Chains A and B, each alone.
Chain A
Amino acid sequence: MKLADTIQFASGSLRGSPTRTLLMMLAMSIGVAAVVVLTALGEGARRYVVDQFSSLGTNLVIVLPGRTETAGVGPGLMSGQTPRDITLDDAQAFLRSRAIKRIAPLTVGSATISRGALNREVVVAGSSADMLGIRHMSMGVGRFLPAGDLHDSASVCVLGNAIRRELFGNESAVGQSVRIGDRRFRVIGVLASQGESMGMRTDDLVIIPVATAHQLFNTTSLFRVLIEAKNRDYIEQAKRDAEEIMVQRHSGERDVTVITQDAILQTFDRILTALTMAVGGIAAISLAVAGVLIMNVMLIAVAQRIKEIGLLKALGAPGKQIRHLFFAEAVLLSGIGSVAGLALGYAGSFIIGQVYPMLPVSPPWWAVLAATITALGTGVLFSVWPARRAARLDPVAALAGK
């Protein structure tokens, strides 16, 4: 019997009992769709987190004062010292490393910003020109902080978009002056509206030169130093160099903490990938259930079509051919079922993507592949027994319907 004829005959018997066929395909497609949609959600969550992180900047290494020890007593306490501050000179020293492309010191405080009668409390960030590039911010109008000596304390500021709206309404802000704390500042630029990223709204931020911030808050220490490594391969070296430089400058003491964004990102990535796989695995159970259903219905089909099987044998079909026919039916069922399931799953993912636009929902290729293979696999696997049973029927008894 030719393959094409086998498939045609099998699809003929599937069409012969449309309700049964449709129900089985439905079960199969729901299983596949569940895997696709759930993994798409998991993958969406993972990509959401990854995107959030990279919106903070790429190849980022962050230096913060103080050392977090996981066990025992920190070296600072042993020598009776508090951790030393990170100064602007320390920050500039990082540029000695070949692995480090650029840096942005960061001092954060809160102050009152006012224009005429309008005033509000804002978070003021003191930084430098490279902050814009490192943190992947973009300008709405005007310029960002001027490049140059970090110690220059110019009285200029860059406003977040929300602050601009509140203070200036529809007027142009650039070139106007505002008062922050007890100083007058000239507005040189407004940040583009970016929305929220990792809980920090650049819309509500006011950025001024770091030296100015130090004067404003009467301090010399930095809250963070953001370091951008040359590229991904230099991240680890940039981290080591930053630690080395700080140790040198702090007379041999390791009293800063250097974290890489990559490490945090990878942890999240691993957790969420594991989660996606777990959810996909649970959905795959429904595929196994669909497989058992196929087996059950196939067994019933063998019983229902017992006379037909007897006839085929009398007409000269060996057991092998009967087995192939039932096998082909199972493959067709699970094949068409999984294609329908994929369509259903993609449609579902698309709808979820429309409802939650911020979630980049898309089924990962490995889940789609795994779902299809599992569907076909269970379909074939669970049809082995019914097909064998049909093949082994005694033709005389089968013809008599026994």
Chain B
Amino acid sequence: MIELKNVCRTFTVGDQQVAALRDIDLRIDAAEYISIMGPSGSGKSTMLNMLGLLDRPTSGTYLLDGGNVTELNDEQQARVRREKIGFVFQSFHLVPRLTAAQNVELPMILAGIPAEERKSRVRVLMQNYGLSDRADHKPDQLSGGQRQRVAIARATVMNPTVLLADEPTGNLDRNTGWEVLKLLEGLLEQGITLVVVTHDAEIGARAHRQIHMLDGRILSDERQVK
């Protein structure tokens, strides 16, 4: 479903070329549960941004569902992000002036979905994530775990095929972190592809497929047989 071929990404820092990704070849099938681990600066976040079309490869190709998405223009890429990809961030990235429900509604507004349908989908989702009584609260009135649940609701409201999570438990205490992780893993039953970037080995070990990165290369790619 996802295929990276010879993908390189180099950044120019001052007058130096820094390679964040070097010749990455990667194939991810539908409904996989993958963790990407590695020390900071190993390129795992760049990898996630690349998979989420937030970043373009300097060279190489990215095939998503068979189509070459590196050749798409800004508007087409935005459409792919909107319809196929959900993001969950370490720092939640909720819009502070919008309520929890409005934050969840946001991707549907951008997609131009009619208001009635938006409202009913938000209501269902808020209920599923146990946030019904928090729907009208602003993010700063929510706990960290609640915020991340709102963020997950937002990431899944468009029914994406891939969910990309960048250190989703990084800003949460241990117990809340586990709860959030369980929530994410629950999405696997719906056939979603889950990619989690983490530096926490314990969390990474839960994935069915573990990728270790170092210096912009894939160091190891192991599959657990359950």
Contacts and interface: CB of A to CB of B under 8 A. Distances in A.
Interface of A: 1-2, 5, 9, 12-13, 15-16, 307-308, 310-321, 395-396, 399
A185 to B, nearest CB: 86
B93 interface: yes
Interface of B: 49, 52, 54-55, 74-75, 77-83, 85, 87, 89, 93, 95, 97-98, 106-107, 109-112, 115, 154, 158
Contacts of B115: 5
Given A5-B109, A314-B87, A321-B110, 6 more contacts: A1-B109, A5-B112, A311-B93, A313-B54, A315-B107, A316-B78
A12 B110 contact: no
A183 to B, nearest CB: 90
Contact of B54 (A5, A16, A317, A396): A396
B110 A314 contact: no
Contacts of A12: 97-98
A198 to B, nearest CB: 63
Given A1-B110, A5-B109, A316 B97 contact: no
Nearest to A4: B115
Of listed B74, B78, B80, B112, residue having the most chain A CB within 10 A: B78
A316 B81 contact: yes
Given A12-B98, A13-B97, A317 B52 contact: no
B197 to A, nearest CB: 13
B112 A318 contact: no
Across the A-B interface, the 5 shortest Cβ-Cβ residue pairs: A316-B82, A318-B78, A16-B97, A318-B75, A316-B81
A12 B102 CA distance: 11
A389 to B, nearest CB: 15
Given A2-B112, A321-B110, A314 B97 contact: no
A15 B158 CA distance: 27
Contacts of A395: 54-55
B55 A396 contact: yes
Contacts of B158: 316
A315 B55 contact: no
B78 A311 contact: no
B112 A311 contact: no
**By DSSP majority rule, is chain A's interface helix, strand, loop, or mixed?**
helix
B223 to A, nearest CB: 29
Given A2-B112, A396-B55, A313 B78 contact: yes
Nearest to B164: A314
Contacts of A16: 97
Contacts of A1: 109-112
A131 B66 CA distance: 97
Contacts of A13: 97
A73 B77 CA distance: 87
Contact of A311 (B74, B95, B109): B95
A315 B49 contact: no
B81 A314 contact: yes
28 contacts: A1-B110, A1-B112, A2-B109, A5-B109, A12-B97, A13-B97, A16-B97, A307-B93, A308-B95, A312-B106, A313-B78, A314-B54, A315-B82, A315-B87, A315-B106, A315-B107, A316-B79, A316-B81, A316-B82, A316-B85, A316-B107, A316-B111, A317-B110, A318-B74, A318-B75, A319-B75, A320-B74, A320-B75
A314 B48 CA distance: 12
A311 B52 CA distance: 12
Contacts of A15: 97
A125 B75 CA distance: 85
A311 B82 CA distance: 12
Nearest to A401: B91
Contacts of B75: 318-320
Contacts of A311: 93, 95
Contacts of B111: 1, 316
A308 B106 CA distance: 11
Contacts of B80: 316
Contacts of B82: 315-317
A321 B78 CA distance: 10
Nearest to B85: A316
A308 to B, nearest CB: 6
Nearest to A3: B112
A106 B110 CA distance: 81
A13 B95 CA distance: 10
A316 B162 CA distance: 14
A395 B52 CA distance: 11
Contacts of B97: 12-13, 15-16
Contacts of A2: 109, 112
A5 B102 CA distance: 12
A244 B158 CA distance: 90
